[in-house]
């Protein structure tokens, strides 16, 4: 006897009433894509569980992959037996005695198939009694057992699991609409993208760069971050915006100290145009409150004036150390700390105004006509699509 299945539990999704079917279908697709390389497995699903039939595949690498799939609350190795008392007894015996260092146990039966002749409580006693009288050195502890043997009796068979491995939680990517991630090469924005994805949001990304002032190496770093994020959302398209001309105009025409705010507003305007074209309904940024000049309340207020799009800021209340901690867990940290020139800083003075008002910025912007350069910039956006396995240059955008 051996574990021949992995059982997946959905968690929060199971509260979603009418949407449940849609959520489960999406999770199923996401799991299938994630496990595409395991050719022998079969995946089945019902309203509350998903089952991976291993068909001889090693479960360890499969479980490693499952840890990155949002919408999974937990998963366990499972033995599937016939829904017959004797076979179930045999399987729980294996699940109890297979691991080392187990002394106490608890049996929790869930009888989904109401035609099974023994009720859940009675079955707990039957199985517990069987284990106690056929083993030595084990005892029952219902409060704090070393191992909880969960037994789900279903029509198609009974699944016996013991150790629960926590999943990534959240909602399946693709169930909460699409957001445009403003992706820089820093530590914060990839973490923001990850956290939005955790809530089921599908992502596209936009990156502003200013060649030759920002290097090819800096662009590559952002591409590597994007690629890394596909681990959680399977694919990510990145809109790479050549920002040099607009930045040069800002540098020439806008008084020192205000350039940063004007630049951010242009980023928002461009992002909005890309979002409109792609049917994207919100932005996600790595902004947090009070870290740098562009993230004061006044600054946010003035930057936001140019767009009605909701801006998701998953990091807004986090400390830098918490953000770093997540970036290490999702393996973006080592990429983010590679040397990098950000287009936001190459042209901007080291002391931008921290409290730019809307009035002041509107007054300054009214003196400069950005429209032609803005259209030109929109036409030269390059779109690069990454999928979890491969990357390819895809298309050149033809906005408008």
Confirm or deny that 182 is annotated as ligand binding.
yes
Output 206 or 384, the one with its CB closest to ligand ATP. Answer: 206
Confirm or deny that 217 is annotated as ligand binding.
no
Residue 170, Ramachandran bin (φ over 0: left; ψ between -120 and 50: alpha; else beta):
left
Q: Considering the complex, what minimum distance in angstroms separates the CB of residue 205 from ligand ATP? A: 8
Q: Provide the mask over 278-297, with x wherever binding to ligand ATP is found by CB under 6 A and - wherever it is not.
A: -------xxx---xx-xx--
Q: Considering the complex, what minimum distance in angstroms separates the CB of residue 387 from ligand ATP? A: 21
- Of residues 128 through 187, those in contact with ligand ATP by CB under 6 A are 182-184, 186-187
Round to whole Å and give the CA distance between 37 and 218.
32
Q: Considering the complex, what minimum distance in angstroms separates the CB of residue 190 from ligand ATP? A: 7
Q: Considering the complex, what minimum distance in angstroms separates the CB of residue 184 from ligand ATP? A: 3
Binding of residue 342 to ligand ATP (CB under 6 A): yes
Binding of residue 189 to ligand ATP (CB under 6 A): yes
Output 116 or 283, the one with its CB closest to ligand ATP. Answer: 283
Q: What is the 3-state secondary structure (H, E, C) of 124-163?
A: HHHHHHHHHHHCCCCEECCCCCCEEEEEEEECCEEEEECC
Query: Given CA atoms 145, 11, 154, 61 in this order, what sign does their dihedral have?
Result: negative
Binding of residue 92 to ligand ATP (CB under 6 A): no
Do the strands 157-161 and 139-140 form a parallel or antiparallel pair, or are they unpaired?
A: unpaired
Q: Considering the complex, what minimum distance in angstroms separates the CB of residue 136 from ligand ATP? A: 58
Output 202 or 287, the one with its CB closest to ligand ATP. Answer: 287
Confirm or deny that 207 is annotated as ligand binding.
yes
List the strands of the sheet with 311-312, edge to edge: 311-312, 282-284, 178-182, 202-209, 235-242, 382-387, 391-396
Burial 167-192 (b: 16+ CB within 10 A, else e): bbebbbbbbbeebbbbbbbbbbbbbb
Output 158 or 284, the one with its CB closest to ligand ATP. Answer: 284
Q: Considering the complex, what minimum distance in angstroms separates the CB of residue 352 from ligand ATP? A: 10
Confirm or deny that 132 is annotated as ligand binding.
no
Binding of residue 208 to ligand ATP (CB under 6 A): yes
Confirm or deny that 286 is annotated as ligand binding.
yes
Residues in the chain: 400
Number of residues this chain uses to bind ligand ATP (CB under 6 A): 20
Q: Which helix (H) or strand (E) holds 73?
A: strand 72-81
Do the strands 311-312 and 282-284 form a parallel or antiparallel pair, or are they unpaired?
A: parallel
Binding of residue 79 to ligand ATP (CB under 6 A): no
Listed in sequence order, the residues at least 6 apart from 119 whose beta carbon sits closer than 8 Å to its beta carbon are: 111
286 neighbors 186 (Cβ within 8 angstroms): yes
Q: Residues at the annotated binding site for ATP?
A: 182-183, 207-208, 264, 286, 295
- In the complex, which residues of this chain contact ligand ATP (CB under 6 A)? 182-184, 186-189, 206-208, 285-287, 291-292, 294-295, 342-344
């Amino acid at each position: 006897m051996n574990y021949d299945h992995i059982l997946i539990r959905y968690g929060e999704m199971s509260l979603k009433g009418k949407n449940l079917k849609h959520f489960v279908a999406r999770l199923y697709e996401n799991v299938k894509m994630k496990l595409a390389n395991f050719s022998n497995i079969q995946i089945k699903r019902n309203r509350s569980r998903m089952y991976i039939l291993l068909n001889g595949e090693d479960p360890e690498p499969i479980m490693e992959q499952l840890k990155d799939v949002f919408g999974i609350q937990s998963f366990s190795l499972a033995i599937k037996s016939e829904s017959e008392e004797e076979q179930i007894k045999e399987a729980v015996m294996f699940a109890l005695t297979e691991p080392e260092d187990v002394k106490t146990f608890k049996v929790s039966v869930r009888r989904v198939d109401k035609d099974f002749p023994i009720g859940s409580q009675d079955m707990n006693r039957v199985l517990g009694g069987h284990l106690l009288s056929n083993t030595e050195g084990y005892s029952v502890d219902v409060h704090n057992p070393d191992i909880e043997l969960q037994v789900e009796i279903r029509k198609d068979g009974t699944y016996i699991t013991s150790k629960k491995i926590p999943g990534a939680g959240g909602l399946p990517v693709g169930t909460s609409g699409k957001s445009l991630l403003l992706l820089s090469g820093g530590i914060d924005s990839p973490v923001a993208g990850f956290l939005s994805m955790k809530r089921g949001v599908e992502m596209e990304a936009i990156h502003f760069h200013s060649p030759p002032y920002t290097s090819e190496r800096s662009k590559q770093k952002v591409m590597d971050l994007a690629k890394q994020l596909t681990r959680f959302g399977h694919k990510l398209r990145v809109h790479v915006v050549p920002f040099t001309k607009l930045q040069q105009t800002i540098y020439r025409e806008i008084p020192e100290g205000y350039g940063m705010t004007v630049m951010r507003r242009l980023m928002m305007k461009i992002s909005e145009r890309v979002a409109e074209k792609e049917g994207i309904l919100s932005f996600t940024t790595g902004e947090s409150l009070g870290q740098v000049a562009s993230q004061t309340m006044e600054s946010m207020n003035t930057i936001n004036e140019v767009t009605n799009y909701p801006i998701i800021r998953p990091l807004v209340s986090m400390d830098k150390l918490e953000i770093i901690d997540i970036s290490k867990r999702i393996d973006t940290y080592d990429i983010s700390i590679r040397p990098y020139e950000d287009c936001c800083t190459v042209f901007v003075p080291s002391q931008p105004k921290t409290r730019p008002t809307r009035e002041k910025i509107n007054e300054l912007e009214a003196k400069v006509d950005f429209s032609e350069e803005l259209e030109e910039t929109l036409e030269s956006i390059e779109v690069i699509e990454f999928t979890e396995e491969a990357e390819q240059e895809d298309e050149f955008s033809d906005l408008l």
